Structure 1
Amino acid sequence: MFSFTGISVTELCDAWSLMLAAGEDPGFLAGLLSQVWLWVKVAIGIGLVIFVHELGHFLAAKFFGVKCEKFYVGFDVPIQLGPIKLPRTLGKFQYGETEYGIGILPLGGYVKMLGQDDDPRNAEKEAERIKVDGDDEATEPQFDPRSYPAKPVWQRMIIISAGVIVNVITGILFAAMAYGFGVPYTPAVVGGVTPGGAAWTAGVRPGGEVIAVADLRSEDQLHFNEMKLEIMEQSFDDPDQAVGVQIRYGDDVNEYKLVPQPYPDDPDMRMIGISNASSAQLMPGQSVYPGSVAADVIDDDLAGATVVAIDGQAVDSESVAPATLIDQLLLRRADQDVKLTLQPVGDDSPRDVVLAPQPMRGVGVSFRPGPITAVRKDSPAEKAGIKVGDVITAVDGNENVDAYDLVLRSSLDSVIQTPITLTVVRGQGAAEETLEFELQADSDAAGLAPISPAASDIASGSLGIAFRPRPFVASADQTDADEQLKPGDELKEVRVQWAGGKVPESVQQQLSDEALLRLTEGWEFGSPSSLNSFVTLVQWLPEGTRFQAFAKTAQDSRVIETELVVGPTDLFWHERGLVFQPTAGVQRADGIASAFQLGMREGGRRLKDVFGFLGLLVQGKVKAKYVGGPIRIVQMAGAQAEQGISKQLLFLTMLSMNLAILNFLPIPALDGGHMMFLTAELIRGKRVDEQLEMKLTLAGVLAILALMIFVFANDIIQSS
């Protein structure tokens, strides 16, 4: 039987020539062989899922005495590219009455049974081939008893459904094996809350353990990715529906109703604003960011060390979010020296290091705050009566309000003891009014992260307000620029001018290729998170780095060109260059029964995911960019295979469930289409009109071909 799935294998035809070109470079050869082996594992994994599907059809057909003429993984179709004619197979052999092989086109597989052909053009020819004439002309022709059409309807139904059933069973077995080996995962723990996000606004605090999201609940540790997937599916179905979230803090369980908010740069994706936690152990590979104050005092001997105390306060490495205390104290004491006590790897003697404050770098421009976008529950701002939409025009009487200065200073222990007076404008036109509020900062919430490069808003946890910084100049200090920026001017785009035309090595280590490309070709301040991303990125650029900048003047809307230079400010950044190991766990079955139970749960969730996604797709609630085809399947398979056998097995579980459901859709030429015809035959007592069945099958084949073209094109577009 024909099975359909999106599959593509990365081309490796130049592998040997590349190896020869590498000469005696062992690093290159090792990397190349590692990559080849990775894609071999991907091909084996995907091929295995297709193989067991077709094996289900094959074994069921054999059990009922049907002659199977071919068993193929991939399709042995003729392919010709101009004068080049490709072989139909990558290999084949005959064993008994069946030809086994691997087809040249890796987009599925099939079992060719006597009297059955998914190609409508061959239907009549196949029907004639299996007819057995009677003894005289009055006797109707009979089918070969070993042909597929000669079998009773119920047997044909079992043969048709066997592939799907085997995929479901093997999918569960894949998952059970994965949990037998042990599945690494990121726990659903609140490591931080996104400034101004739904969790931040509702008063969610870091350090809690998420135990339930909507209908998703786990008897053991909930996985962070499972939580994200559940939120995404809920928001696809109804973007404005609040998601129920239960978070455990010690013995207490807090319940929240959170409305997922759009990702700043992808409004179709939504989040509740919870980030995963980190351990107190520094990353062994890269414990510090180059150019940071941490890099000045943490040497190679301390790589991978564990922070056991900060300023004499013990850090509980067994807590659900060990790095939370460290991050909060570093933020609240950003203007002070902080002493870290580190336990080196394999050393019984702790070592103390002192982290100096990390000066914030700027480009000679401060930015204005936009209207308040969120007010945190039970915060000083909410109690004082500040509302969403209010615009801050002065802080302690100073009308030159710097957005980043406000959120960073209001988090400092040295500042939060003193009340802060905010002047805001509320309303517009005749309803506009100016109000003043005196706020006493909340020291317990001062440690909430004020800035996230992936978020559009910045926030003061101690005051309980969030707003979007805008690329409008509050003040500027450009001593060397010919064209000076003035308050109110809007920064539109910047382009980096690397000294000597070469990117410094420390910057290459720190920034992604995408960020470097945007900086070089032009960083535009059009997307919601672009300003936050830029300000964060500037912290790791060398002082003296120059930007060519373009701005629109407030006075006459001219576009002017000016120059910005990276330099120190009188503020201190909330991070000092420490890189912590993310919190991770391993879920391992404690026996065969436990592994099977976990496999059943995993298989059930994946089936639910596929059904849910298809339902949303039919309703038009999911956009095409979220539909993955063969190219993305291979990319995902490669990414999972790199993480180990357990992750690859779980991916195969997901792929098995996808293959099972997609092949059982009621589309002629797929297993579900055959089952649809058989059901009609069972009800009617006779076969569906052959001409109608042939036409519907042809339409199904054309629909599948159109779908394959679409998903291929969609993959290429989304990957570009």
Structure 2
Amino acid sequence: MIESLVYSLPLADSEVSFLSTLLSQIWLWTRVALGIGLVIFVHELGHFLAAKTFGVKCEKFYVGFDVPIRIGPIKFPRTLGKFTYGETEYGIGILPLGGYVKMLGQDDDPRKAQEEAERIRLENGGDEDVAVQLDPRSYPAKPVWQRMIIISAGVVVNVITGILFAAIAYGYGVDYAPAIIGGVTPGGPAWQTGIQPGGEVMAVGALEDDAMHYDEMSNEILTTGMKSASTPIPVKIRYEGEVVDYELSTAPHPLDKDMRMIGITNPTSTMLTPMVAKPGSVAEKAMDEKYAGATLVGYDGNKIDNDAIVPVTPFLDYLYTHPSKPIELEFEQVDKSKHLVTLPPQTSRTLGLRFAIGPITSLVQNGSAEKAGVKVGDVITAINGDKDIDAFGLPLKLVEADSPVKLSLRRGVGDAAETIEVELAAINSMQTIVPTNGVGGIVGVNRYGLAYQVKTTISSLAGDSSGKLQVGDKVKEAHLVGKEDLEKQLDNESYTALLSELEDWKFEDASDVSSFLDSIQYIPVGTQFVLFVERPSDKKIIETTLVVSDDDRFEFERGIEFLPAQRTQVAQSLGHALSLGWREGKRRLYDVVRFLGLAVKGRVKTKHVGGPIRIVQIAGMKAEQGISPQLLFLTLLSMNLAILNFLPIPALDGGHMVFLIAEAIRGKRVDEELEMRLTLAGVLALLALMAFVFLNDIINII
């Protein structure tokens, strides 16, 4: 059914490193091949054992297909290896796209279907009214109920082994990012609802779990949002001592408009990464590699509460609301010794451009701005009477304001525009995400409950020595000058991808402005960019060269790098492991069924579909992460194989089951010729689908 001898010589360090890397990669991909092969093997083993149980002769058992492949004059072998034991030929086919069991009297290979039908007719003497005398050990000779069991056995075994894979994974221990609110993205649905950082998600949509994984939560939000973008998702969040229920709408993901999100980010821990800090940051200057793995235990006299759901939350709020203040940090290093580090403010890097403030896009429900009468669409024109404001300078003033602020707003357009004056009082709302890192280039200040759009329009400038640019010009492109020289100067792998992006940067929307300014913060002063802007009056494109320089402002970020928050879920007993495996298996089955439902409704784009190439890529990534991630991926793969194989498509197990059900109802077998034609059509459809997913994988990779 479809489905050496090594002589040891002294080696140089580089040779040892290369050999070690090579052997590591060989072992990695061996594990990948064994894992994927195992899923296919157990599927076919299910068919094989069920057939043997009912006395059916099995002529072949193959993982992969032993089909002839020829490319020009080159003829490939049909198998990678085979042997015969008893009455069955076992082998590994050259085409690794599934597997099959060839039973006497039954074959899914379309080249054999006509031959098999003709054999039955000959046995019948050409007379359809005479009962066919079949070999008692052939598949067609068995009762319908036995054939149903044989057909469904592969799927059943995949489900069982998928559950066992997950149970073993939880026996080892599964590392996961907990579904805890590290921050709410400025302007996102969670931000607008007023959700605060530091809570633990207990339920989302139909998913409830006291130890919910962040990936599970994200997947539930994504698929529910794709199913119905307008339907709010119920979310239950536990804070210290209380549980709060919310109804959240989803919004398009800024990196993929077809995906849905609610704007919740996962938290970081209080432990520094091996890198400690971003290159070129004040944190890198203040801390060397000896701080790798150190844990933050205090800041400016405040102690970290390790019993809190998210211990790092108060520190991040303090960091992002005091951008101009030096902060004294206390770390406990791996050897348990404690050290104080003063983290000075991070001076901004600039090209001398300021960007205009766009209209207010969202407000926090019952937040300070909403209560003061601010409306979506208003444009901030002044703060406390100061009109010298811009999109990225305004949040610096707002987060450090220690008294109510007065905002001047322009409401309406053209002659109907009017100026509104409002006073906002700061409220206690934690800012654990940089205000300028909002959805799609949105800037949001939590304590005042408002978020506005950044514009690509220049509001003021000081860095254009040529005098070519004007206020009101719109930035279109920026091209890094001297990329190769910078790579040599910086000599750090962390910069490689960044410099490649900066070499050809397009400003298609406001998010590109925020990302660009973030990207230039850690590159050297004096770096040059060729800038292209559009003049709105005549659509003329202006070219000029700008130089990176230090600004008179400070950044919210200071380059300190914490590890993501992580927990480990370990089964406490065999029964607990099986229970967790059963839960994992059910969820993955449900995911596959739900995905197929969305695909039928046209809600799934081709970029969301993965074929064999993508499967191997993900399998390799999971194998690199360890045995438990690989086993959980095999659970997902097993459930995919089970569901997809049982779809009612001729040539698949589900198609055979449809024929058997029809035979059970009619009391006689479906016409062999019709069955053969449908099977051929099914095989052709599957081949077309396989060609499509292969091409789709290649396109997505490119």
Q: Normalising by structure 2, what TM-score? A: 0.95
SS in 2 for 1:43: helix
Tell me if 1:109 matches 2:99: yes
Counterpart contact for 2:178–2:566, Cα < 8 Å:
yes
Partner of 2:681: 699
Give distance in 1, aligned partners of 2:335 and 2:231.
50
Partner of 1:231: 221
Counterpart contact for 1:132–1:144, Cα < 8 Å:
no
469, 486, 502: which one aligns with 1:519:
502
Partner of 2:448: 463
408, 412, 427: which one aligns with 1:442:
427
300, 309, 312: which one aligns with 2:289:
300
440, 454, 466: which one aligns with 1:482:
466
Tell me if 1:48 matches 2:38: yes
55, 63, 73: which one aligns with 1:65:
55
Partner of 2:113: 123
Residue 399 of structure 1 deviates from its aligned partner by 3.0
SS in 1 for 2:150: helix
> Unpaired segments of 5 or more residues in structure 1?
4-15
Residue 140 of structure 1 deviates from its aligned partner by 4.7
Give distance in 2, aligned partners of 1:569 and 1:470.
20
Tell me if 1:341 matches 2:324: no
Q: In the alignment, residue 482 of structure 1 is paired with which amino acid?
A: S
Give distance in 2, aligned partners of 1:624 and 1:135.
51
Partner of 1:604: 586
- Deviations for 1:98-123, whole angstroms, at most 9, x for unmatched residues? 00000000000000001111133422
Q: In the alignment, residue 281 of structure 2 is paired with which amino acid?
A: S
399, 405, 409: which one aligns with 1:411:
399
- Deviations for 1:30-63, whole angstroms, at most 9, x for unmatched residues? 1121112111111000000000000000000011
Kindly tell me: are residues 508 and 378 of structure 1, through their superposed partners in 2, closer, same or farther at Cα, counting changes over 3 Å? farther
- Deviations for 1:458-477, whole angstroms, at most 9, x for unmatched residues? 11122211112111101001
Partner of 2:601: 619
Counterpart contact for 1:144–1:150, Cα < 8 Å:
yes
Matches within 5 A, 1:680-699: 680-699=662-681
Partner of 1:501: 485
Residue 259 of structure 1 deviates from its aligned partner by 1.1
Partner of 1:662: 644
Partner of 1:428: 413
Residue 600 of structure 1 deviates from its aligned partner by 0.5
SS in 1 for 2:330: strand
Partner of 2:192: 201
Give distance in 2, aligned partners of 1:379 and 1:141.
81
Kindly tell me: are residues 185 and 96 of structure 1, through their superposed partners in 2, closer, same or farther at Cα, counting changes over 3 Å? same
179, 184, 188: which one aligns with 1:188:
179
Give distance in 2, aligned partners of 1:634 and 1:657.
16
Residue 451 of structure 1 deviates from its aligned partner by 2.1
Tell me if 1:163 matches 2:147: no
Question: In percent, how many aligned pairs have the same letter?
Answer: 54
> Unpaired segments of 5 or more residues in structure 2?
none
Aligned positions, number: 697
Residue 318 of structure 1 deviates from its aligned partner by 3.7
Q: In the alignment, residue 101 of structure 1 is paired with which amino acid?
A: G
Partner of 2:312: 323
SS in 1 for 2:422: strand
Q: In the alignment, residue 595 of structure 2 is paired with which amino acid?
A: F
Stretch moving more, 133-142 or 666-675: 133-142
- Deviations for 1:112-168, whole angstroms, at most 9, x for unmatched residues? 001111133422422455789699999754011111111111111110000000000
Counterpart contact for 1:75–1:110, Cα < 8 Å:
yes
Give distance in 2, aligned partners of 1:79 and 1:68.
25
Q: In the alignment, residue 463 of structure 2 is paired with which amino acid?
A: Q
Counterpart contact for 2:182–2:432, Cα < 8 Å:
no
Give distance in 1, aligned partners of 2:53 and 2:411.
78
258, 279, 291: which one aligns with 2:248:
258
141, 156, 170: which one aligns with 1:150:
141
Stretch moving more, 238-247 or 103-112: 238-247
Residue 448 of structure 1 deviates from its aligned partner by 5.1
- Deviations for 1:477-526, whole angstroms, at most 9, x for unmatched residues? 125x324322111010000113773425647433462x432311x20110
Partner of 1:2: 2
289, 298, 311: which one aligns with 2:300:
311
Counterpart contact for 2:183–2:432, Cα < 8 Å:
no
Stretch moving more, 561-570 or 115-124: 115-124
683, 704, 708: which one aligns with 2:690:
708
Kindly tell me: are residues 121 and 302 of structure 1, through their superposed partners in 2, closer, same or farther at Cα, counting changes over 3 Å? closer
Tell me if 1:676 matches 2:658: yes
Tell me if 1:388 matches 2:371: no
Q: In the alignment, residue 331 of structure 1 is paired with which amino acid?
A: Y
Tell me if 1:644 matches 2:626: yes
- Deviations for 1:646-666, whole angstroms, at most 9, x for unmatched residues? 110000000000000000000
Kindly tell me: are residues 300 and 501 of structure 1, through their superposed partners in 2, closer, same or farther at Cα, counting changes over 3 Å? closer
Counterpart contact for 1:213–1:246, Cα < 8 Å:
yes
Kindly tell me: are residues 656 and 134 of structure 1, through their superposed partners in 2, closer, same or farther at Cα, counting changes over 3 Å? closer
Counterpart contact for 2:276–2:288, Cα < 8 Å:
no
Q: In the alignment, residue 157 of structure 1 is paired with which amino acid?
A: M
Partner of 1:7: none
SS in 1 for 2:457: strand
Q: In the alignment, residue 308 of structure 2 is paired with which amino acid?
A: S
Kindly tell me: are residues 315 and 139 of structure 1, through their superposed partners in 2, closer, same or farther at Cα, counting changes over 3 Å? closer
Counterpart contact for 1:323–1:580, Cα < 8 Å:
no
Counterpart contact for 1:174–1:652, Cα < 8 Å:
yes
Q: In the alignment, residue 160 of structure 1 is paired with which amino acid?
A: I
SS in 1 for 2:92: strand
Kindly tell me: are residues 228 and 244 of structure 1, through their superposed partners in 2, closer, same or farther at Cα, counting changes over 3 Å? same
Give distance in 2, aligned partners of 1:325 and 1:106.
53
Q: In the alignment, residue 191 of structure 1 is paired with which amino acid?
A: G
Partner of 1:363: 351
Partner of 1:80: 70
Partner of 2:364: 376
Stretch moving more, 666-675 or 114-123: 114-123
Give distance in 2, aligned partners of 1:420 and 1:447.
22
- Deviations for 1:558-580, whole angstroms, at most 9, x for unmatched residues? 11001222112222111111100
Counterpart contact for 1:190–1:207, Cα < 8 Å:
yes
Give distance in 2, aligned partners of 1:502 and 1:573.
23
Give distance in 1, aligned partners of 2:231 and 2:612.
33
Runs (4 or more) in structure 1 with deviation over 6 Å come to: 134-139
Stretch moving more, 95-104 or 192-201: 192-201
Counterpart contact for 2:81–2:92, Cα < 8 Å:
yes
Kindly tell me: are residues 214 and 136 of structure 1, through their superposed partners in 2, closer, same or farther at Cα, counting changes over 3 Å? closer
Kindly tell me: are residues 22 and 53 of structure 1, through their superposed partners in 2, closer, same or farther at Cα, counting changes over 3 Å? farther
- Deviations for 1:190-224, whole angstroms, at most 9, x for unmatched residues? 11111111111111111111111111101x31100
Residue 557 of structure 1 deviates from its aligned partner by 2.5
